[in-house]
Amino acid sequence: MYFAFSGLRSTFSLAALAALHLVGGCGGDVIVESASVSSSGADGGAGGVGGASSSSGSAGETSGQGGAAGEPAGVQLLANLAIPWQLRQSETAVFAQQIGPEEPLILRIDKATLEVSILYVNALDFDVVGGTIFYSEPQNVCAGCPPGKAWIKSISEWGGSTALVLEVQGEAAGRVAAGPWHVNMITSSAFHHVDLATESVQVYAAPTATEIAADGNSVFVNNAFTITYFEPDLASPNILVGKSDWQYSNLTAHAGYAYWQDQMMYIARASPVAPGAEIVLKGVESIDIAVDDQERIFWTYAGPDYYGINFADAGQAPQILATTSNGPGQLVVDDSHVYWVESDGTTGAVYRIKKP
């Protein structure tokens, strides 16, 4: 059974969420640290990111692990997430996913008011386009279960009823990416492309696919050692980046380009009009990658020297934006902020910081 609450039943003020308990959650309470969130306070301050809310700092500051002198602090938006996973965004909100066998859910954080809404959906992965959340849902979620059915479902970012978009028999559900008129899913053996306008479905073999990303009309698929792309005027996916001896990861898409991390410690990009790898950053290791409209690259990093959020302007050396106490994961960027999740391996939190 799937539950989705909307309006006053799912949207809470910061004060109300600070005392909210989700019964039966696999990782404890989901709590908003209201002391560390202020819709009018400055993002940043004297402390580092990653710690508990400060009892003495001004609104919008957190205390915890400090970075180097001059590094700003972030704002903690949510804490005590059980196994935080994906992070996505729309024009008006950021969406954090909590996964677990008992209480998977997606939390919507309004960018302006910082109010939080809870969607009880069993999402393996999800994407948000035009106010709609598209998510993959597995039939079997137990360890060792054979593949049963894989679904793509949708729900408004404000809640309401779920809708079935695609059902796949005998496949394990995988990653999802959506565009303005299409939604896509990789399963255990294939890439499924759904045209939402015509309600047509195209299926292509993709037994080694690990990641998928969409931007406009283009869909990019990471096949571990190659990257392919699909567009509506193509009969089948085409090669974007040819076979490599080194595995690709952290696929993302922005402004017509696919970006990815290479095991040879560089970030590269390519587009359908400019196929083949263009190296944009060298000597870089990332956990996740995001790109803004100025082609600045942001990435999360967890190395022996520090945990943090890094960025680089085109052609410039990498810089540390913030350090974190716990391991950072997924991140997204918009015109004004960088958002990310971090976790100590058991519970996690969502943070944001102003862009440089």
Question: Each residue of 278-318: pLDDT tens digit?
Answer: 999 999 999 999 999 999 999 999 998 999 999 998 778 99
Backbone angles phi, psi at 15, to 5 degrees: -65, -40
Of 46-60, 197-211, 224-238, 325-339, the poorest mean pLDDT is in: 46-60
Query: What is the pLDDT averaged over residues 346-352?
Result: 91
pLDDT at 114: 95
Q: Cβ–Cβ contacts within 10 Å for residue 171, how many? A: 21
Answer whether residue 320 shows pLDDT above 70. yes
Determine the 3-state secondary structure of 18 from DSSP. Answer: helix
At 283, list the tokens.
């000597």
Q: Which of 179, 282, 270 is nearest to 229 (CA)?
A: 270
DSSP letter, residue 14: H
Q: Is pLDDT larger for residue 311 or for residue 81?
A: 311
* Four-residue CA torsion sign, 13, 18, 21, 27: positive
Q: Is pLDDT larger for residue 139 or for residue 240?
A: 240
Beta bridge partners of residue 222, listed in sequence order? 211, 227
Answer whether residue 343 shows pLDDT above 70. yes
Q: Cβ–Cβ contacts within 10 Å for residue 316, how many? A: 10
Residue 204 one-letter amino acid: Y
Answer whether residue 88 shows pLDDT above 50. yes
pLDDT-derived band at 73, boundaries 50, 70, 90: low
pLDDT-derived band at 98, boundaries 50, 70, 90: confident
**Cα(333)–Cα(310) distance, integer angstroms:** 12
- The rounded percent of the chain whose pLDDT value lies above 70 is 76
Determine the 3-state secondary structure of 36 from DSSP. Answer: helix
The two most distant CA atoms of the chain are separated, in Å, by 61
Look up tokens 């696999």; give the residue. 26
At 75, list the tokens.
């704002």
**Cα(58)–Cα(36) distance, integer angstroms:** 9
pLDDT at 102: 58
> Which pTM value belongs to this model?
0.81
**Cα(184)–Cα(293) distance, integer angstroms:** 24
In order of 106, 181, 194, 212, the CA distances from 177 in angstroms are 16, 11, 11, 6
Of 30-44, 230-244, 256-270, the poorest mean pLDDT is in: 30-44
pLDDT at 141: 54
pLDDT at 157: 94
Of 73-82, 164-173, 218-227, 259-268, the poorest mean pLDDT is in: 73-82
Answer whether residue 15 shows pLDDT above 90. no
Of 71-80, 129-138, 307-316, the poorest mean pLDDT is in: 71-80
pLDDT-derived band at 172, boundaries 50, 70, 90: confident
pLDDT-derived band at 138, boundaries 50, 70, 90: confident
Answer whether residue 51 shows pLDDT above 50. no
- The rounded percent of the chain whose pLDDT value lies above 90 is 60
Are 262 and 248 in contact by the 8 Å Cβ rule? The answer is: yes
∠ at Cα 123 (119, 128), nearest 5°? 70
Answer whether residue 175 shows pLDDT above 70. yes
Look up tokens 């302006």; give the residue. 112
Q: Which of 15, 47, 44, 46 is nearest to 31 (CA)?
A: 15
pLDDT at 270: 96
